[in-house]
Chains A and B, each alone.
Chain A
Amino acid sequence: MFWFLRRGIASLIMLWVIVTLVFMSIHFVPGDPVELLLSQDGGSADPATVQMIREDLGLNRPIVEQYVEKLKGLASFDLGRSMVDDSSVSAEIARRLPRTLELIGLAALISLVIGIPAGIYAALHTGKSFDRAASYVAGFAQGIPVFVLGTLLILVFSQMLKLTPAGGFVAFSQAPGKHMLLLLMPSLSIGIGLAAIVFRITRASTLEVLPLDYVRTARAKGLGDRRIVLHHILRNALIPVITIFALQIGSLLGGTVLVEYVFNWPGLSGMLVSGVNARDYPTVTGVILVISALFIGLNFLVDVLYGLTDPRVRK
């Protein structure tokens, strides 16, 4: 239990550091941040507007007061208001977050369902044609950027074969089938690259476990192949897979941003990209905070999973 608590506290500290850094980032900018935000059209900003935004963002108050104010807001899930249309950033995020989570979830599922069995099969048949072909495919899948894969999927399946729509979104409650079809393409774009990584790690760690004594013992006991693979090899070979998965979470979230954009999936990414383009500071920091919190949360989840799979970690 103590192990669990310690990880939890470490995650909270990380979250606090991120909040503080994101808060500070607007003050790191040399010169007046508001004038910089407004100066994108080349001309200098109207002093009255600058003053108004400064007051809106609370930049005219002492920095400590702003910081406390910000933390208070976060405690009640208030991320401020958009500079573009004055809508609540939190409400917009709440609307879009489930769609992003859905995408990450399905992508992770796809990668595990493809990667783990393929990895074990390849390791059990090293050097055979499946192993060699799969290794080449994995190298390719790992190299191709998610947005390129997504774009090519659209080109082939929507443009040439006319099998799927080129992206978009329908609520699950309205048309479940269409919703899943629209979800599948972006999830595949992220999931395939991830599956390649899962495949490689599963293969390598299975190969490491195979010659170990307990596998030989299990075999000597007369256990069937199926039982040996599932009970003796898989459980031990999975530990590095979990580790690698944790390391990939950052690029998984980054990939989600790109893929949502490719497929017009109205998750957090569209909000982030338009926020960055409009230099809408509250929107950008809000989304980044939420994705970072997600990042930390997923890392924590992986740590817990790690502890559950390998009791040696729980010290």
Chain B
Amino acid sequence: MTGTSLKFTPRQIPAYLLALLLVVSLLAPVLPLQDPLLMDTAARFAGPSAAHLFGQDEFGRDILVRLIFALRNSLIVAFAAAILAGFIGTALGVLAGYSRGLTEMLAMRIIDIVLCFPPLLLAMLAVTLYGPGPVTLIPVLAIVFVPSFTRVAHASVLSVRSQDYVEAVRSMGASNARVMFSTILPNIAGPLIVQFSFTVAVTVVLESGLSFLGLGVLPPAPSLGLMIGTGRATLAQAPMLLVWPCAALTAMILILNAFCDDLRDRLDPKFSKIRGQ
């Protein structure tokens, strides 16, 4: 993270690709792209052309544009869920690690309960009760990932709470809230940022799985999982309808994973020691 990292190395490739992905998804609505929902029934299953580089789908919609907007939707859902989970989970973990005693016991037991459920099933239970759609999707995915943030925050707080600098701030008369959030929190930010990046990556996978089952993002909104799900029906006549979203989803996940691994090596001293390279 110093001046030397400005030099280009192959390890930075995932970071650049991720930046490109984020910029394109962020700017998608203002880029000169066709409407992802615009149908052209005369050109159903049309092959690649100058106007439609990746061809058109079963309703004549532009596949490339739909892929871009689907990536955007995936990332919006993943970031929203990860931010929500990060806030709740970190607050719970810092509180538990700092105050110990009953608060700690309660917080950690609540977490254990959420962990009793396989994530996908918890999400499916929620969809049964509240119906599919983004309003259900984001809070549910957030709940699923609160425990991992709480555990990381809790463990990190335990390791720094008795350090001298924390004692020093406390003995100067700082309030508990101040000690927790302006002294301890910045010092445990590394592992939490790593956890955040992993959560985004895992949420993308989980969301695509739910959408694939038709329980996540709802049609006609473009979603990679949904595109793969509907592409299966036209497997024989238009295999590319299936191949493109599969490739886009896998590429996005691989980029996110590579970025996470690299970030962990840089920010989490525990792991860089194990790797020892």
Which of A's residues lie within 8 Å of B, judged by CB? 14, 17-18, 21-22, 25-26, 28-29, 33, 36, 40, 139-140, 142-148, 151-152, 154-155, 159, 166, 204, 249-251, 253-254, 257-258, 261-262, 272-273, 275-277, 279, 281, 284-285, 288, 291-292, 295-296
Given contacts A33-B129, A254-B209, contact A145 B249 (CB under 8 A): yes
Please indicate the chain B residues that have their CB under 8 angstroms from the CB of A261 in the complex. Answer: 212-213
For the complex, give the distance between the alpha carbons of A279 and B124 in Å. 10
For the complex, give the distance between the alpha carbons of A253 and B122 in Å. 12
For the complex, give the distance between the alpha carbons of A207 and B175 in Å. 47
B16 contacts partner chain A, Cβ-Cβ < 8 Å: no
Which of B's residues lie within 8 Å of A, judged by CB? 112-113, 116-121, 124-125, 127-131, 205-206, 208-209, 212-215, 225, 228, 232, 235-236, 239, 242-243, 246, 249-250, 253-254, 257-258, 274
For the complex, give the distance between the alpha carbons of A140 and B131 in Å. 34
Which listed residue, B119, B130, B254, B274, touches A250 by the CB 8 Å rule? B119
Given contacts A14-B116, A148-B249, A159-B236, contact A284 B257 (CB under 8 A): no
Which listed residue, B118, B130, B250, touches A254 by the CB 8 Å rule? B118
For the complex, give the distance between the alpha carbons of A33 and B125 in Å. 13
A6 to nearest B CB, angstroms?
Answer: 16
Whether the pair B116, A295 counts as a contact (CB closer than 8 A) is yes
B250 to nearest A CB, angstroms?
Answer: 5
For the complex, give the distance between the alpha carbons of A211 and B8 in Å. 35
Whether the pair A288, B250 counts as a contact (CB closer than 8 A) is no
Most buried by A among B124, B205, B214, B250: B124
Please indicate the chain A residues that have their CB under 8 angstroms from the CB of B124 in the complex. Answer: 257, 272-273, 276, 284, 288
Whether the pair B118, A148 counts as a contact (CB closer than 8 A) is no
Which listed residue, B117, B120, B228, B236, touches A151 by the CB 8 Å rule? B228
Please indicate the chain A residues that have their CB under 8 angstroms from the CB of B130 in the complex. Answer: 29, 36
Contacts between the two chains (Cβ within 8 Å), count: 125
Please indicate the chain B residues that have their CB under 8 angstroms from the CB of A273 in the complex. Answer: 124, 213-215
Please indicate the chain A residues that have their CB under 8 angstroms from the CB of B228 in the complex. Answer: 147-148, 151
Whether the pair A40, B119 counts as a contact (CB closer than 8 A) is no
For the complex, give the distance between the alpha carbons of A29 and B130 in Å. 8
Whether the pair A152, B118 counts as a contact (CB closer than 8 A) is no
Please indicate the chain A residues that have their CB under 8 angstroms from the CB of B116 in the complex. Answer: 14, 17-18, 21, 292, 295-296
Given A36-B129, A296-B116, 19 other A-B contacts at CB below 8 A? A33-B129, A139-B258, A144-B250, A144-B253, A145-B209, A146-B209, A155-B235, A155-B239, A159-B236, A204-B274, A249-B118, A254-B206, A272-B121, A272-B124, A275-B128, A276-B127, A288-B124, A292-B117, A292-B121
Whether the pair B239, A288 counts as a contact (CB closer than 8 A) is no
Most buried by A among B125, B127, B130: B125
Residue of B nearest to A39 (CB): B131
Given contacts A148-B228, A151-B242, contact A254 B121 (CB under 8 A): yes
B156 to nearest A CB, angstroms?
Answer: 20
Please indicate the chain A residues that have their CB under 8 angstroms from the CB of B209 in the complex. Answer: 145-147, 254, 258
Main secondary structure, interface of A, reads helix
Residue of B nearest to A40 (CB): B131
Q: List 5 A-B contacts (CB under 8 A).
A: A28-B129, A143-B257, A144-B254, A159-B236, A254-B209
A144 to nearest B CB, angstroms?
Answer: 5
Given contacts A36-B129, A147-B228, A159-B235, contact A258 B120 (CB under 8 A): yes
B149 to nearest A CB, angstroms?
Answer: 16
For the complex, give the distance between the alpha carbons of A28 and B130 in Å. 10
Whether the pair B208, A250 counts as a contact (CB closer than 8 A) is no
Which 4 residue pairs of A and B lie closest in terms of their CB atoms, listed nearest first?
Answer: A254-B120, A250-B118, A143-B254, A253-B118
B268 to nearest A CB, angstroms?
Answer: 15
Whether the pair B118, A151 counts as a contact (CB closer than 8 A) is no
B143 to nearest A CB, angstroms?
Answer: 12
Please indicate the chain B residues that have their CB under 8 angstroms from the CB of A281 in the complex. Answer: 128
Whether the pair B129, A277 counts as a contact (CB closer than 8 A) is no
Given contacts A204-B274, A292-B116, contact A145 B131 (CB under 8 A): no
B41 to nearest A CB, angstroms?
Answer: 25
Given contacts A273-B213, A284-B125, contact A159 B118 (CB under 8 A): no
Whether the pair B239, A295 counts as a contact (CB closer than 8 A) is no
A126 to nearest B CB, angstroms?
Answer: 11
Which listed residue, B129, B131, B246, B274, touches A152 by the CB 8 Å rule? B246
For the complex, give the distance between the alpha carbons of A243 and B274 in Å. 17
Which listed residue, A14, A139, A151, A277, touches B214 by the CB 8 Å rule? A277
Given contacts A25-B129, A159-B236, A204-B274, contact A142 B257 (CB under 8 A): yes
For the complex, give the distance between the alpha carbons of A33 and B118 in Å. 24
Whether the pair A151, B246 counts as a contact (CB closer than 8 A) is yes
Whether the pair B253, A257 counts as a contact (CB closer than 8 A) is no
Whether the pair B212, A147 counts as a contact (CB closer than 8 A) is yes
Whether the pair A139, B257 counts as a contact (CB closer than 8 A) is yes
Residue of B nearest to A291 (CB): B121
Residue of B nearest to A159 (CB): B235
For the complex, give the distance between the alpha carbons of A204 and B271 in Å. 12
Residue of B nearest to A33 (CB): B129
Please indicate the chain A residues that have their CB under 8 angstroms from the CB of B208 in the complex. Answer: 145, 147
Please indicate the chain A residues that have their CB under 8 angstroms from the CB of B120 in the complex. Answer: 253-254, 257-258
